[in-house]
Amino acid sequence: MLSHVSHLLPLELKRLLEDLPAEVKGSLEEIRIRENRPLEIAYRGGFRFIAPDGSLKLHAEGAVRPTPEQCRKLLERITNYSLYAMEEELRRGYITVSGGHRIGLAGRTILDGGMVRGIRDIGGFNIRIAREVIGAASHLLPKLMDSGKGTIGSTLILAPPQQGKTTLVRDVARSLSYGCSGVLEPFSFLGKKVGIVDERSEIAACVRGIPTFDIGPRTDVMDACPKAEGMMMLLRSMSPEVLIADEIGRPEDADAIREASHAGVSVVATAHAYDVQDAKGRPELAKLIESGTFTHLVELRRTADGIMHRITNAGGVLSSQPSGAKGRDQPQGFGLLGLTAAARSRAGEP
């Protein structure tokens, strides 16, 4: 996956990262480049600093420190040498590049009337590497299907950052769009019309409006569009059976989801929260949960053995879960959703 973003990196940093062991490069999740501060990577759910000889260190002492010139070159490449053209992205604090990879930015903010208008003196970059995992939803999707309606029940997926929410909803979209013939026993259904509101261009990774990830043959994408407005646009123009949105939480998001629900459309959305109780501490999520807008609430946990999940159905009843991975890393009541790269390697899987 490093090859998908290496063209953005200054030559010195590119060479350093390309010399990492193959198993590290294959499981890279983040590259954190901070001006004059230690170079850090995240992989397999953990982190390390990189020494000048390419070795990985748990502590920052002696790690490579990217120079101001290297950071300047990186910024020029990710903005295609035009900061002005990226004004809206800079205001939001991130830039999404081809392939759905999101680059977070940190620096000095520019204020206008108390509102953030942009970022200058950028000295921190977080390159988050997007991954397409075909089949990521295969264990979960059968538990979310409504056999009476022949489609997925409205579902809210809850987890902190970097737990696999976006990867999961991408595969939910793909699976529903293709349909199923006996694979998701006991369900069999024709492909659904799916609408994705991809505000940060991460789910479908569109380039000039064309998805670069496989999101299925019956899926339409509203790319780089605010979630609430995008959901209403898709409802009016594309007659979706399922709407998918990532990281909801604003009042206008909740209003759009309720509107879709009243129109008979299933909604699959994600939100940042540790668990259901945490989500109920956010006013708009609490209203959606307590009103029964969502049929299922799914909590995700990332462990050394894999991605674990727990489902709460409408009425607060926990669905039965498979035993999943054994050991201290398995949270109580959670079942195995998918193996981590490290666990797959231990099991001898590709």
Q: Are 156 and 165 in contact (CB under 8 A)?
A: no
pLDDT surpassing 60 at residue 350:
no
pLDDT-based confidence at 348, cuts 50/70/90?
very low
- How does DSSP assign 186-253, residue by residue? T-EEEPPPEEEEETTS-SS--BTTB-SS---TTEEEEET--HHHHHHHHHHHT--SEEEESS--SHHH
Q: What is the pLDDT of residues 26-71, one digit of tens each?
A: 889 999 999 999 999 999 878 999 999 999 999 999 999 999 999 9
Q: Give the pairing type, strands 155-159 and 151-152.
A: unpaired
pLDDT surpassing 90 at residue 268:
yes
Look at the block and give the residue holding tokens 């989500």: 279
Global pTM?
0.81
pLDDT for 342 equals 47
The backbone torsions φ and ψ at residue 288, rounded to the nearest 5 degrees and listed phi first, read: -65, -40
The conformational region for residue 342 under phi > 0 = left, psi -120 to 50 = alpha, else beta, is alpha
Which two tokens mark 123? 């000295």
pLDDT for 314 equals 72
Q: What is the pLDDT of residues 196-235, one digit of tens each?
A: 999 988 999 998 889 999 999 999 999 999 999 999 999 9
Q: Give the pairing type, strands 194-198 and 188-190.
A: unpaired
Which has the closest alpha carbon to 194: 152, 254, 139, 158?
Answer: 152
As a dihedral over the C-alpha atoms of residue 335, residue 336, residue 337, residue 338, rounded to 10 degrees, the angle is: 170
DSSP element (H, E) containing 88: helix 87-92
pLDDT over 90 for what percent of the chain?
A: 61
Q: Are 252 and 206 in contact (CB under 8 A)?
A: no
Which two tokens mark 145? 């299907």
Cα gap 43→26, rounded to integer Å:
9
Cα gap 335→110, rounded to integer Å:
45
Q: Treating both helix axes as pointing N-terminal to C-terminal, what angle do 283-290 and 251-262 enclose, rounded to 10 degrees?
A: 20
Greatest Cα pair distance in the chain = 61
CB atoms within 10 A of CB 189: 16
142 upstream amide cis, omega within 30 of 0: no
Q: What is the pLDDT of residues 17-38, one digit of tens each?
A: 999 999 899 889 999 999 999 9
pLDDT for 220 equals 98
pLDDT for 2 equals 82
Cα gap 272→130, rounded to integer Å:
18
Cα gap 50→41, rounded to integer Å:
8
